[in-house]
Chains A and B, each alone.
Chain A
Amino acid sequence: MLSRTASSLYWLGRYIERADFVARLVEATVRLDVLSPRPAGEAAWRSALRVTETDAAFEATGAGVSQQNVARFLITDSTHPGSIVRCLDMARNNARAVRTALTREAWTAVNCAWLIFDRHASAGGAQATLKLVETVQTEARGFEGAVHKMLRNQTTQFIRLGQAVERADNTARLLDVKYHLLLPEGERVGGVVDRDQWTTILQTVSAVTAYRWLYSEGLRPANVIDLLIARQELPRSLAASVEETVEILSLLAKRTGLHGEADRMARLRNTRMGKTRTGEVIVSGLHQYLRAFLAENDLLHAAIGRQFKFG
């Protein structure tokens, strides 16, 4: 396989995953803003910006923090590299560059997701926003389904590798920001707004029901953190994402004979992950833990590029 092809497939996986994540984040934020008994409003949208690390970029647009403005920024702003439309644009560019490696179904899913925005100038109000992000998620699911039905070869493995690396990154960011999200003045820890914010986290990673299955107690921040960091059963948890990168890298090694630094890093991280106790992490500093995790994820990303000569 051409190195450029491998690189494009990996990035295709990352951008699709990122578009899907931003869509989920927006959806959860709309719910938090609109549906909670006392709207969390501005603070919710502020935190959405922080999760995607785009507060500064948003501020530079001069727009005020509101549902309409932030949603537009995160969804359809073509000048903002992290917006869904730009992620899909990049995903499609990468997919076009490797069309020969994709099935028609996989390509069509990416192309259709991109076409949606060809016809939408703005995200509009809450309802239109929800509809738009739901469509993005549907297309992303369609893409995953199509990839699942492709030959289980290097092509799909590079896509899945990109998805797994991106997913780990997204979950860590989400957890980091929401945990440190300041409660509005006068709100108490464990109060309605606090609860809503933890629910938002679960919604963003589609784990509301999963939480109920796994934890018999009511909503507790420590449990949510445990679920998102350490539970293998949740596909979006750090533990699951980390294990998946190990698996895919060894499948790739088996198929191509290529293994090296990236495999070693991924395995090491996986072993450490297995010994992680959530309680200890919280006591010794969740923020530091997550920051270290994100930095390590970037290192793994770079090692993957070197190992497969992404150039």
Chain B
Amino acid sequence: MGIERAFDEIMGIGGGMVPRKELAPLGRWIEDTPPQELRRRQQSAEATFRQLGITFAVYGESDASERIIPFDIVPRIFLADEWQRLSEGLVQRVEAINAFLDDIYGARKILDAGVLPPDLIFGNAQFRPEIAGMRPPHGIWAHICGIDLVRTGPDDFFVLEDNARTPSGVSYMLENREAMLRLCPELFREFRVAAVDSYPDRLLETMKSVAPHGASNPVCVVLTPGHYNSAYYEHSFLADSMGIELVEAADLLVDDDVVWMRTIGGLVRVDVIYRRIDDDYLDPLVFRPDSALGVPGLIAAYAAGNVALLNAPGNGIADDKAIYSYMPDIVKFYSGGEAKLPNVETWRCREPQALRYVLDNLEQLVVKLVDGSGGYGMLVGPTASSREIEDFRAALIAQPERYIAQPTLALSTVPTLCDAGLAPRHVDFRPFVLTGSKGVQVVPGGLTRVALKEGSLVVNSSQGGGTKDSFVLMEGQAQRLEPGQMTQTMGTMTQGQGS
């Protein structure tokens, strides 16, 4: 599977240098802007990121403890109808995830119906028996979902992973757009791009909408593990853009099942918490007792219905990689229809037959730890050394239930600024889906991650991947507009920005 056969988001099939017809203006822009100029703008963006401290920490690297994620200046673009179809699939999937969580910690109808093997739930480290029987305010569990997608052809989108715990990256969606608006304003005259900057408002709306009953002007906060966390920039960015407090566990206390924060004027009651701390560390009385990051009594307050937690504790069971392979059945069970967004074909190594196939075809497969993330603990068969393959073979045989395997897909590419100029590089995509008491919404944009190494399929920032802005074009966007049409378009654009 070489790059030459991959679908290119801008150039289409065939890998030539002629853009898909809807994207002709981008082709002209690339032609008109010399690579040195693109590089200059890209460097300027990265310098700004460093100055602003838009960084992430890489664990286990003391010398480079803070890095910026490389930013690529050529955007990836979704046509309006592509986005429409994607959105429908995303809404359906997130609704199913919420229904699944509500069911699995409640009546467990899906197990009665025999859709899932019960041991997959009850033997799963991501299942939280402590949460069973609790119901979050308004019955919503996965308020903020990041669904990782890949594309292999014009109409072929696949879900690679569901992130229903604490998906990160939304600050990059917003900062990348800021950078593009500043550095390449001409592109926004060529294309009517849906605005992403309403995200913080939508998130705050979502938070307020799930406040426990009775709170008329709910106090919302973002809970961070602290400024040594790799995503701290994002936590502070979100709290800042929503205009709410960024708290650490030590700022909170629970008294009589009510959550309070310590302020200079005394204690203030907290109603809604967007927590960016994993379940394990959330409340030492319920989960890991050695956690210093948590708030003792938080889960009791939650169980008493006095505080909303976003996302709900226990969500890990919905985005577990072992559950993932059942997601098409889960979607069907709760929505009554076929999943609009298919999964990537997945072998569950816990099943002997699948394991045999995986062991026989390691060179062609991507093997992942069920509970791994960030590109750690995975084998990319086609690029792995025979030594790595043998190591993985041994690990698979020893603990097959810890692994799943997927084919290496011909991931789509986007032209990316490399040392030798523009060249296609593989990308994936993480859109963000918000669920509040008033419904599900997909923010028109997301995080495009790009593998900067030629031929590489690994896009994780911790593995040297970069990011791009992701344009979602608005309805009616086609070729460059004639001057006469400009005024009208500008008018609509202003409206669109505010929506």
Contacts and interface: CB of A to CB of B under 8 A. Distances in A.
A39 to B, nearest CB: 40
A4 B50 contact: no
Interface in A268-311: 308-309, 311
B265 A4 contact: no
Contacts of A311: 250, 262
Contact of A4 (B51, B52, B250, B266): B250
B263 A104 contact: no
User: Which of B52, B246, B264 has the most C-beta atoms of chain A within 10 angstroms of its own C-beta?
Assistant: B264
A99 to B, nearest CB: 4
A82 to B, nearest CB: 23
A6 interface: yes
Contact of A107 (B52, B246, B250, B263): B52
B265 A257 contact: yes
If over half of A's interface residues share one DSSP class (helix, strand or loop), that class is named, otherwise mixed; here it is helix
A111 B250 CA distance: 25
B245 interface: yes
A258 interface: yes
B227 A4 contact: no
A175 B239 CA distance: 44
Contacts of B326: none
Nearest to B51: A108
Chain A interface bracket (under 10, 10 to 19, 20 to 34, 35 or more): 20 to 34
Given A3-B263, A256-B265, A311-B262, A96 B53 contact: yes
A100 B245 contact: yes
B292 to A, nearest CB: 15
A178 to B, nearest CB: 38
Contacts of A257: 265
B251 interface: yes
Contacts of A309: 262-264, 266
Contacts of A6: 264
B248 interface: yes
B470 interface: no
A96 B264 contact: no
B239 A100 contact: yes
Given A4-B248, A4-B251, A99-B240, A104 B52 contact: yes
B51 A2 contact: no
Contacts of A96: 53, 227, 232, 236
Nearest to B48: A108
B204 interface: no
Interface in B208-244: 226-227, 232, 236, 239-240
A100 B265 contact: no
B282 interface: no
A220 B245 CA distance: 53
A93 interface: yes
Given A93-B227, A97-B227, A112 B51 contact: yes
Main secondary structure of the interface of B (DSSP, over half): mixed
Interface in A238-257: 256-257
Interface string B10-32: 00000000000000000000000
B264 A308 contact: yes
A100 B52 contact: no
B344 interface: no
Nearest to B245: A2
Contacts, number: 60
B417 interface: no
Contact of A3 (B53, B232, B246, B264): B264
A111 B227 contact: no
B86 interface: no
B262 A4 contact: yes
A166 B435 CA distance: 48
A1 interface: yes
Nearest to A93: B227
Contacts of B239: 100
Contacts of A256: 264-265
A2 B244 CA distance: 11
A115 interface: yes
A111 B263 contact: no
B370 interface: no
B247 interface: yes
B170 interface: no
A309 B74 CA distance: 50
A89 to B, nearest CB: 12
B164 interface: no
B248 to A, nearest CB: 7
B245 A111 contact: no
Nearest to B261: A2
A100 B236 contact: yes
A99 B262 contact: no
Interface string A17-33: 00000000000000000
A2 B240 contact: no
Contacts of A108: 51-52
A127 to B, nearest CB: 27
- Counting chain A CB atoms within 10 Å of each CB, which of B226, B232, B236 scores highest? B236
A3 B262 contact: yes
Contacts of B226: 97
A111 B52 CA distance: 7
Interface string B34-54: 000000000000000011110
A114 to B, nearest CB: 9
A118 to B, nearest CB: 9
A112 B240 CA distance: 20
A125 B227 CA distance: 35
A154 B50 CA distance: 28
A93 B298 CA distance: 27
A308 to B, nearest CB: 4
B240 A100 contact: yes
Interface string A83-118: 000000000010011011000100110011001000
Contacts of B261: 2
Contacts of B227: 93, 96-97
B245 A107 contact: no
Nearest to A96: B227
Given A1-B263, A115-B51, 5 more contacts: A6-B264, A99-B236, A108-B51, A258-B265, A309-B264
19 contacts: A1-B263, A1-B265, A2-B263, A3-B262, A4-B251, A93-B227, A96-B53, A96-B232, A97-B226, A99-B236, A104-B52, A107-B52, A108-B51, A108-B52, A111-B51, A115-B51, A258-B264, A309-B262, A309-B263
Q: Which 7 A-B pairs have the closest CB atoms?
A: A99-B236, A100-B240, A96-B227, A308-B264, A100-B239, A100-B246, A3-B262
Interface of B: 50-53, 226-227, 232, 236, 239-240, 245-248, 250-251, 261-266
